[in-house]
């Protein structure tokens, strides 16, 4: 157990993900930008979050909306200038907040100068910076590996008559991380931003960096079903999660550790036991391997409670937990579980032990916005049109006010705004004590001030088909009991072994607040409460 002074800003902070294209447009081009974010910092401070993670803002041809980078140390003119970035970083720091950048080391854009050199000839000095392979005798692809975005992961290059590997789009060739020059060059990129003072990185698809040296075929996935992305036809056992990736992570981490208190978050979609390895030996890997269980699991009380227990039990000694409800790749929580349960989800996210990450707009209850086919922009949606995989619906403009385009932009935005924006926006919800925004703000406020919620132990109390109940307790501080009804039927909590005495501090249904609790608790459908326990 740490004492309070051993907790760092990222243990106690709340992370807020901004998808910059969709946050605030300041120059009337329909696309959000850095100055727009600067304009909205008052809001973020009011909301109470203190760590901002920006999805990529680097120069990019935008084949994958910035996750295809053509210059790792620049700023895309769509988003502003380096001076704008420097100002953003400064003003964030002046407010006592932190800034995390998205770092995308697995692949570059095919327009990155490194790749242009690499593809120019077989004997170019950067040839081996990417993954080039000969065709089979019949011209076939080197193996059966698939691209996450559909089709083969190999693209034929007629000029040099070899295939190159791309785990994502063909416009996103994978770097060869087994090449020490690539490692050095990418660490230099990290150093560039660390020197500027950024507080850390969210590292994109960290578990993809190293592939099996022999490039064997991946085995078929016996559980594949037709509605799933084509990528899931195979189990990516040779193309991802190779043991040597941990050597790379530890190099990255050593670099971060040569600066004060910088943070590495890893984007890793793996089962719990494998995920835990990304904390590294002696916690010298990623500080926070993203924990996506609340995104991946069905919304079921028993399954979630079990997963929390399993996760807590699997954490390495000294490993700090984290929880995520949504991001720019997945359907929004309000759409996935419904607006009522999204309130429960907020309460869960902000009362579990570990650093929470909030996806912009979820605090308003923003939903996936239906995007007509002819307006789809996301390559994942366009490449597999029959599977409904477009990520655009979760990336729509932030809803600020009742004005044109929800206050996001004075011109038509790059993606349409939710038609409900006049009812669901920051301006309206701020004034309504029962809104999702007010609930988020109060949950954040409570979490930021109560030591038991920040660092206290997680003590499971009970779970059944409908409800999850747990206590958060830090010795010497007030403890909290959380009871969440994940069902749409009424539920009763009556545990003889654990009498609950206290009063309701925050409830999803405000009329419950202030109520004295002594023993039995009845909850309506979709209700959740946080009880401040008597000493």
Task: Tell me which residues are annotated as active site.
Answer: 204, 267
Contact status: 204 vs ligand GLC (CB under 6 A)? yes
- The pair of three-digit structure tokens given for residue 243, joined into one six-digit string: 């043991």
Q: Pick the closer one to ligand GLC by CB: 19 or 421.
A: 19
Residue partners of 340: CB distance under 8 A and separation at least 6: 488, 525, 526
Q: How far apart are CA 300 and CA 533, in angstroms?
A: 26
Note whether 205 binds ligand GLC by CB under 6 A.
Answer: yes
Angle at 465 between CA 464 and CA 468, to 5 degrees: 50
Residue 31 or 512 having the CB closest to ligand GLC: 31
Contact between 322 and 356 under an 8 Å Cβ cutoff? The reply is yes
For the bound state, the minimum distance from the C-beta of residue 358 to ligand GLC, rounded and expressed in Å, comes to 16
Q: Which is closer to ligand GLC, CB of 100 or CB of 205?
A: 205
d(CA 218, CA 207): 16
* 206 burial type by CB count under 10 A (0-12 exposed, 13-18 middle, 19+ buried): buried
Q: Which is nearer to ligand GLC, 366 or 394 (CB)?
A: 394
Decide whether 72 or 470 has the Cβ nearer to ligand GLC: 72
E strands present in 331-476 = 355-359, 457-463, 467-473
Residues 414-453 that bind ligand GLC (CB under 6 A): none
CB of 120 to ligand GLC, least distance (A): 24
Task: Compute the least distance from the CB of residue 241 to ligand GLC, in Å.
Answer: 14
Query: Restricting to residues 285-314, which ones interact with ligand GLC according to CB under 6 A?
Result: none
Whole-number minimum distance, CB 66 to ligand GLC, in Å? 8
Q: Which CB sits closer to ligand GLC, 55 or 405?
A: 55
CB of 186 to ligand GLC, least distance (A): 15
15 is a contact residue toward ligand GLC (CB under 6 A): no
Q: Is 168 in the site for ligand GLC (CB under 6 A)?
A: yes
Q: Is 419 exposed, middle or buried (0-12, 13-18, 19+ CB in 10 A)?
A: exposed
Tell me the residue nearest to ligand GLC as measured from the CB: 67
E strands present in 232-388: 263-266, 288-289, 322-324, 355-359
**Interface with ligand GLC in residues 99-138 (CB under 6 A):** 104
Question: Which residues lie below 8 Å from residue 430, measured CB to CB, with a gap of 6+?
Answer: 437, 438
Q: How many residues bind ligand GLC (CB under 6 A)?
A: 9
User: Would you count residue 14 as binding ligand GLC (CB under 6 A)?
Assistant: no
Contact positions with ligand GLC (CB under 6 A) in 239-278: 267
- State the Cα–Cα distance between residues 166 and 155, nearest whole angstrom: 7
For the chain, first and last CA: distance in Å? 22
Q: What gap in Å lies between CA 456 and CA 473, rounded to an integer?
A: 5
Within residues 360-399, the interface with ligand GLC by CB under 6 A covers none
The Cα 308–Cα 460 span in angstroms is 9
Binding track, positions 36-75, relative to ligand GLC; x by CB under 6 A: ----------------------------x--x--------
| Least Å from the CB of residue 67 to ligand GLC | 3
In the complex with ligand GLC, the residue whose CB is nearer, 209 or 305, is: 209
Min dist. Cβ of residue 162 to ligand GLC (A): 23
| Secondary structure E strands in 344-403 | 355-359
Which residues of the chain form contacts with ligand GLC (CB under 6 A)? 64, 67, 104, 168, 204-205, 267, 328-329
């Amino acid at each position: 157990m740490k004492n309070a002074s051993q907790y760092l800003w990222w243990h106690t902070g709340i992370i807020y993900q901004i998808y910059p294209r969709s946050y605030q447009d300041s120059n009337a081009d329909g696309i959000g930008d850095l100055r727009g974010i600067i304009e909205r910092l008052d809001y973020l401070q009011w909301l109470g979050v203190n760590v901002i993670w920006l999805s990529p803002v680097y120069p990019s041809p935008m084949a994958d909306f910035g996750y295809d980078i053509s210059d790792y140390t620049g700023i895309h003119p769509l988003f502003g200038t380096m001076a704008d970035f420097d100002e953003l970083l400064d003003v964030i720091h002046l407010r006592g907040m932190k800034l995390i950048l998205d770092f995308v080391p697995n692949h570059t854009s095919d327009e990155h100068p490194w790749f242009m050199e690499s593809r120019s000839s077989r004997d170019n000095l950067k040839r081996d910076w990417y993954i080039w392979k000969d065709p089979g005798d019949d011209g076939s692809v080197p193996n059966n590996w698939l691209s996450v975005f559909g089709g083969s992961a190999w693209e034929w290059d007629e000029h040099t008559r070899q295939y190159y590997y791309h785990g994502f789009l063909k416009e996103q060739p994978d770097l060869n991380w087994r090449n020490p020059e690539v490692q050095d060059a990418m660490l230099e990129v990290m150093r560039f931003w660390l020197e500027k003072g950024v507080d850390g990185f969210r590292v994109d698809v960290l578990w993809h960096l190293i592939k099996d040296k022999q490039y064997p075929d991946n085995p078929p996935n016996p559980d594949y079903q037709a509605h799933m992305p084509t990528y899931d036809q195979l189990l990516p056992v040779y193309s991802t999660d190779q043991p040597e990736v941990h050597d790379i992570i530890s190099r990255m981490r050593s670099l971060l550790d040569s600066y004060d208190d910088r943070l590495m978050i890893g984007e890793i979609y793996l089962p719990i036991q494998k995920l835990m390895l990304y904390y590294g030996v002696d916690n010298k890997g990623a500080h926070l391997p993203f924990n996506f269980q609340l995104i991946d699991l069905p919304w079921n009380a028993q399954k979630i409670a079990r997963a929390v227990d399993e996760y807590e039990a699997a954490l390495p000694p000294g490993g700090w937990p984290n929880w995520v409800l949504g991001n720019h790749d997945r359907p929004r929580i309000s759409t996935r579980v419904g607006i009522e349960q999204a309130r429960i989800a907020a309460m869960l996210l902000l009362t579990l032990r570990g650093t929470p990450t909030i996806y912009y707009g979820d605090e308003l209850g923003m939903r996936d916005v239906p995007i007509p086919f002819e307006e789809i922009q996301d390559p994942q949606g366009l490449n597999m049109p029959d599977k409904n995989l477009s990520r655009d619906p979760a990336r729509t403009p932030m809803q600020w006010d009742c004005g044109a385009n929800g206050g996001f932009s004075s011109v038509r935005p790059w993606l349409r705004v939710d038609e409900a924006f006049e009812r669901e926006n920051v301006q309206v919800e701020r004034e309504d004590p029962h809104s999702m925004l007010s609930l988020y703000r109060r949950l954040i406020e409570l979490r930021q001030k109560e030591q038991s919620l920040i660092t206290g132990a997680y003590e499971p109390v009970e779970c059944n088909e409908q409800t999850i109940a747990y206590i958060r307790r830090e010795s010497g501080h007030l403890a909290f009991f959380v009871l969440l009804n994940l069902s749409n039927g009424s539920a009763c909590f009556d545990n003889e072994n654990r009498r609950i005495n206290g009063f309701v501090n925050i409830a999803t249904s405000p009329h419950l607040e202030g109520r004295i609790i002594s023993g039995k608790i009845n909850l309506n459908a979709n209700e959740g409460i946080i009880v401040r326990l008597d000493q």
